[in-house]
Amino acid sequence: MVNQIDEIYEHILRADRVLEGVIHRTPLDKTRTFSEMTKSDIYLKLENLQKTGSFKARGAYYKISNLPVKKKRRGVIAASAGNHAQGVAYAAKMANTHAKIVMPIFAPIAKILATRSYGAEVILHGYVFDDSLKKALEIAEVEERTFIHAFDDEYIIAGQGTIGLEILRDLPNPDIIIVPIGGGGLISGISIAVKKRNPNVKVIGVQSKAFPAAYELKKKVSIENKAWSTIADGIAVKKPGQITSEIINEMVDDIILVDDNDISRAIFLLLERGKILAEGAGAISVGALISGQLDVEGKNVVAVISGGNIDFTLLSKIISRESIRMKRLVKIRTIIPDRPGSLSKILSLLAEARMNIIDIITERYDFRAPPFEASLEIIIEVPEEKKLQELLSSIRGQDYQVEIEEV
């Protein structure tokens, strides 16, 4: 294993030169918000600003650029419903070779269009990723195309490892680097790049509780009753690779698990406080920080934001969910007389309190209200708890019974 790690490290150094002008050297941004929350110095490695919106283009290009001319002529193929698809498509275009990407038929249309925009031919096949993978391998054999693995490949790992070199250039002595783990290519490359130069840096992996395969291998445990899905779909991998598993066991200091609540909160806070758009897999490193599982006080900590390709429908749900959790969106319920002018009286109180109304629902046939009254539910935006309590007091002062309900 030592020889393989040394070999990959040499590839990382070469990849760093090969990728010059092909990918972005993404910023390492110090964040006041998360630094204050954790009493440490937190830096975000913003791979969400990378070409194609994630780190995947690094490894894909280094792999394809090292193919013999004959193999480049025959083209490459990959199976993916997400970031790997776009990374391979972009890398193939930059390397002047043709790419086919097999995606499940229900892959998001935005990701299909993005992959095609980089010049790849998209083949929709199967209902799940495994179906697409099987089809991609069949095409690879028939057409003699090179299959580009998403993570279990030395060249892929080396390309991702260039992130580690960039981190050390901008912050020579970090104490901790937190890295998302799916198949393990990203953390394998970063851990080799960093520990070869500074073995004192701790590399901490983070996985979703729903897909803890690397955690189970590292800790030699088996977790029962796992969730069936996660908003961190980019790292929803059932099993890390053979190469990456060995590197993780050898080089990674620890792995922790984070649930979707902390990931959701991290996405929301990154967007609101940092104006940083991160997908679930990209935000999970910050989710690890705010979960309170890591002792980072007084340390220099880097959290890798691995990607920003989040579905906007999901993002909308997360914003609404977090707004409700933080009581910025609140539903109030009361009973009003079923006669003209009753609703306007309540609305005038809301206007005086400067509350923005999101939705109003009146129900004359609510069994909880007497026949001559109607139930009223109003969803409002609340700037702060104090203002909410003042509003409730003013409504109750008009002889209305008002309560807060779950949205």
Domain positions in the chain: 2-54+153-322, 56-147, 327-405
Identical fold for domains 56-147 and 327-405, yes or no, is: no
Q: State both tokens at 122.
A: 């998209």
- For 2-54+153-322, CATH number? 3.40.50.1100
345 has catalytic annotation: no
**253 vs 187, 201, 205, CA distance in Å?**
11, 9, 8
Active-site option among 40, 132, 306, 375: 306
Kindly provide the residue ranges of all beta strands, DSSP E only, lying in 285-382, ordered along the sequence.
Answer: 300-305, 329-337, 356-363, 373-381
Please report the pLDDT score of residue 407 as a whole number: 57
Q: What is the pTM of this model?
A: 0.89
Rounded Cα distance between 283 and 276, Å, is 10
Please report the pLDDT score of residue 374 as a whole number: 85
Please report the pLDDT score of residue 32 as a whole number: 96
Which CATH architecture best describes the domain 56-147? 3-Layer(aba) Sandwich (3.40)
| 327-405 topology per CATH | Alpha-Beta Plaits (3.30.70)
386 has catalytic annotation: no
Active-site option among 56, 196, 202, 209: 56
pLDDT per position in the chain (407 positions), as tens?
778 999 999 999 999 999 999 999 999 999 999 999 999 999 999 999 999 999 999 999 999 999 999 999 999 999 997 899 999 999 999 999 999 999 989 887 888 999 999 999 999 998 877 788 899 999 999 999 999 999 999 999 999 999 999 999 999 999 999 999 999 999 999 999 999 999 999 999 999 999 999 999 999 999 887 877 899 988 988 889 999 999 999 999 999 999 999 999 999 999 999 999 999 999 999 999 999 999 999 999 999 999 999 989 999 999 988 988 888 889 999 988 888 888 888 899 899 888 899 999 888 777 777 778 888 899 999 888 888 898 899 889 888 888 887 65
Please report the pLDDT score of residue 224 as a whole number: 83
Q: What stretch of H or E contains 402?
A: strand 402-405
The values of phi and psi at residue 185, to 5°, are: -65, -40
**97 vs 70, 189, 283, 386, CA distance in Å?**
11, 25, 32, 61
358: three-class secondary structure by DSSP: strand
**Is the Cα torsion angle 378, 382, 384, 387 positive or negative in sign?**
negative
